[in-house]
Amino acid sequence: MTKSNPSQSFELKELENLEAMDEEQFIRKNFFYQIECLKVTTDTFGEFSHINYSANEKSKYIRLSEDCDIKNVLTLLRDYWQLETPDLIISVTGGAKDFDIRKTLKESFGKGLMKTATLTRAWIITGGTNSGVMKLVGEAVKDFSTAYGKQRKLITIGIASWAKIRNREQLVRTNNSYATVYNPKSKNGDEIELDVNHTHFFLVDNDINEYKEEINFRAKLEKAVSEKYLSRNFENDSQKIPVVCVVLEGGRGTISTCLSAIENKTPCVIIENSGRAADVLCYAYRKFEKIDQPPFTYENSVRRFFQEYADDVKYDIEEKFKTKFVTLFEMNSEHNSISLDEAILASLRKGGSKDVLQQLRLALAWNVLEIAKEHILNNDIDTKEIQKLFMEAVKICRTEFVSFFLRNYDILANLLNSDEVVLLYRNISRNVFGKNLKGKLTEENIAKELTNLTIHCQQEYYSFDYNNTAKELFVYCIIKNQKQLALLFLDEMENPIAACLIAEVLLKELGLKIDDSEIQKEMENNSSFFGSLAVELLSECYLDDAKKAQLMLVREIAMFNNTTLLTLAKAADNKTFIAHGACKALLDRIWRGIKFLKPKEEELVKWEKIRVDHYMSILENKEKDIILEKLHHLEKMTERLTTAARKSYDGYKIVSVHAKTDTQAKWLNYLQEKNVDFLVPPMKVDHEAVMLLSPREFLRVKVLLHKINLDFKIIHSQVGEDLRNMFKRLDEKKQFDINDYNTLEDINSYLDNQRNNCPSGANCEIEVIGTTHERREIRLFKLTKPGANRRIYWFDSAIHAREWLAPATNLKIFDTMIKQTDADSISLLNKYDFYFVIILNPDGYVYSWNSERFWRKNRSPNPGSICLGTDLNRNNDICWRCDGTSSNPCSDTYGGSAAASELETKAVADTVSKYGSRIVAWNTIHTTAQMILHPYGYTENGICYRADDHDDMFRVANAYADAVENTYQTVWTRGTSCETIYAASGGTDDYVKAHGNVKYSFTPELRGPGFNPSPSAIEPSYQEMWNGIKAMIAEIEAIESE
């Protein structure tokens, strides 16, 4: 071995013409590194394979100095190791020694890391040895390579101390050979073997036998790659590659590394409950952010750590810890609604890159449209860059992104050319398309293959039309078997019926040529879908104008080589299309001798006139309007039935518990903070709490409940089956039903109809009081009679999306009042106006129908988090986040990023300001605890706060609850939420009372059980509430008359 003391830097020397040599010749003859200070050669570089692995599995390595010139290192990475520019650098730091880790945690960490790296073409950087967290990363890379093949091996760079490598002398070149075999067979003191699953190694040496020199080099390298790797000459570049630090377990050095990263404004994701240093950092984060510590989770771990290390650790943390750049992630929890890859994205958003295009590329890779919207709509981005992002979205099938670009930009013009087409079709597996193509993929070869697929319906050679981008992208999406993406481009085409038939042909032909049975079945289904769609669109046109529909069938379609719809239908063997009434009428017309153009020349001339005079003025407008309407209808149906596939609740259980001690109640509240779904939240001791648990959550929670000696009862074990049966019935329901659950669309249609059928002498008006994030209207129905400053009774519902019984009951109350069905309703409307908001949270309500039945919050994005939604009943500007509100965006009780941050909350505040002086009583209807609650829900100095007129409110609430109870002899609680169940601030009832000058503000919690009662519960719930409302009004009138 050649002894060296690399205290300065190295440089590359090229002694001959490099272009004339292959890589092996160059390496053997001319590639060496020279230590400038001593002018001696180090020959510790090349490739090594591990003795216990295949000789083909090699890792590149080089030994160099800690303070070498970083530009030379970048040259090595780019020009000699030829590493492509990453979109992200993931720096993994943590325990250097092996530590105990549960199998599920290990698997979750590895899968999350690999998903992030593949989505973003990341480089992973570790300490490079076969121990501790580095070994975990190596094993994850190995598992990934085994599963997906060596061609998808990830770039994993190890930066290790030369002095601590076991059997390092084997890596020194002794015979001018570039490759060597590494055999770490014997243990030698504290020396550690390299992890062979890493692809590249920097072995850092300053001839001082310490385990520290690589840390400084690693920080310098990460910074240089981030700031300069995009630049060809390694000068400062305006674009930077984002870096994220992932911390797992670790010791004193890990804390130093993390704090150094934070000082460099590098976002850090810290794995909670992974032990030692990571737990200390999590403890500090929660302390600084004033977030409750998990019960007993960190106590022992933190104490042991500070016994091992001096107090300077505390000093460093207090001085250098900046929570803006920190994201906590509890990998060991079943209650996280986000995965590790999403936590990494959240950290980059929270602290990270300000480069707009980099953010957009990451958003595209992670398929997070909201981030892209934020950057695109708020920045002036070059059209070419938008087009690049659009094409990338098409290639990786990001349907929402493609839809967004098409809706907001004129993006299809001058988009495609020969090179782009080749790049597109390279994304399709040769097993699906072009299996028999020989040689390099070219535009000509692609056209030949498309000709083979369509020759019997076009009769001519397929040629690309770059002036008709929508058609070419539609065909590409069909070949790729991406139905939803294809529908977006169908919407942009002039001849959608022809396009549907072409799609049917292509998918049938492709299905015959592939071997994969699952893909084949999917292609058959999609082929049937487009064939059926063609028939439906033809029906729409035929019903509108039978003659024009017949002309459509035989007109030549230029974009598909002048073929006709009948020819396409025959080629597709679409018997339903051919048997359609329009085709029969056409054939009958021909049979009876009603002349159609026969000579092709004459046909072309006359059809040109028809296209100009009729197609552009009538057919195109009429046909296109009908088709677009049909497509939008189908899109809605698809959203309902397939695209936003409903969450399966198979295996879920609903579990009831009663905490008997404060400790048990504390644990239940901790589970709620960790996103266990509580249908009835944990209250005080001796109150029932009800949880909805997945199969895995049930096992974990069961163990915890056993440990804290808390009994539980399974009250429902067939949640998934019941929901399937319910949605099957609801999807088949044809119209609005006042005694059943109804969609937002049906509810709004019903309200519109009632507005048009207002009772005699009354006024009916719908006022839009706000618009949601997803641009749905929040509608207030005002049922009034003439008179100045008439007083108002208010009723809203569905502020929590999953509480379907609340709007169903509210609708029955509304129906009684507007139809004036009894003497009580007539009398009440003569005295008062009645205001109804049936769905206060329309985005969440729609989502609870289409995707996730037990969704509670709204659907607005949360800055710095992947998790969507805010609990609107914790978001009002009154004692915001004082009590019972989570600061975790993934929690069901998340109070929002700021008081009144949500559009729905602002709508309520504006309405209270507008009408509050006239409102006698406000009722915000919830389910399912059988309570009549009133303000206030929060505490002052640890004591439940009471209003000055508390006794009057309680008196009315008592009368309210008594009347409800007497309806069916049930038991209802009444009082403030703080005193009866738990403290919770930011509620609507509190805000209305404090800021709206509304004396009586109630939260009726309707009957149960749970949030998914049978429709048979609607009528008794209505009867209870109707009796309660009448008693409430009577008691208020009695108080006012005293």
Identify the helix (H) or strand (E) that includes residue 994: helix 988-995
Q: The dihedral of CA 936, 904, 866, 856: what is its sign?
A: positive
Q: Which residues pair with 794 in a beta bridge?
A: 835, 922
Rounded Cα gap, residues 84 and 604, in angstroms: 54
Q: At which residue do the structure tokens 């998808």 appear?
A: 152
Q: What is the DSSP letter of 164?
A: G
SS (H, E, C) 812-859: HHHHHHHHCCCHHHHHHHHHCEEEEECCCCHHHHHHHHHCCCCCCCCC
Q: Choose among 696, 418, 405, 457: nearest CA to 573.
A: 457
Rounded Cα gap, residues 299 and 303, in angstroms: 6
Contact criterion met (CB below 8 Å) for 78 and 230:
no
Q: At which residue do the structure tokens 């590790």 appear?
A: 340
Q: Phi first, then psi: give them for residue 50, nearest 5 degrees.
A: -85, 140
Q: Phi first, then psi: give them for residue 1013, nearest 5 degrees.
A: -70, 160
- 782: helix, strand or coil: strand
Q: Is the peptide bond before 1009 cis (omega within 30 degrees of 0)?
A: yes
Distances (CA, A) of 58 to 183, 951, 956: 13, 80, 80
Contacts of 448 (CB under 8 A, 6+ apart): 437, 462
How far apart, in Å, do the first and last CA atoms of the chain sit? 104
Distances (CA, A) of 450 to 292, 426, 498, 574: 62, 14, 16, 20
Q: Choose among 906, 925, 896: nearest CA to 771.
A: 906
Identify the helix (H) or strand (E) that includes residue 329: strand 326-329
Burial category of 649 from C-beta neighbours within 10 Å (exposed 0-12, middle 13-18, buried 19 and up): buried
**Sheet containing strand 155-161, strands side by side:** 179-182, 45-50, 58-64, 200-204, 155-161, 123-126, 89-94, 243-248, 268-271, 326-329
Rounded Cα gap, residues 314 and 595, in angstroms: 95
Q: Which residues pair with 712 in a beta bridge?
A: 657
Give the residue numbers marked as catalytic.
1005
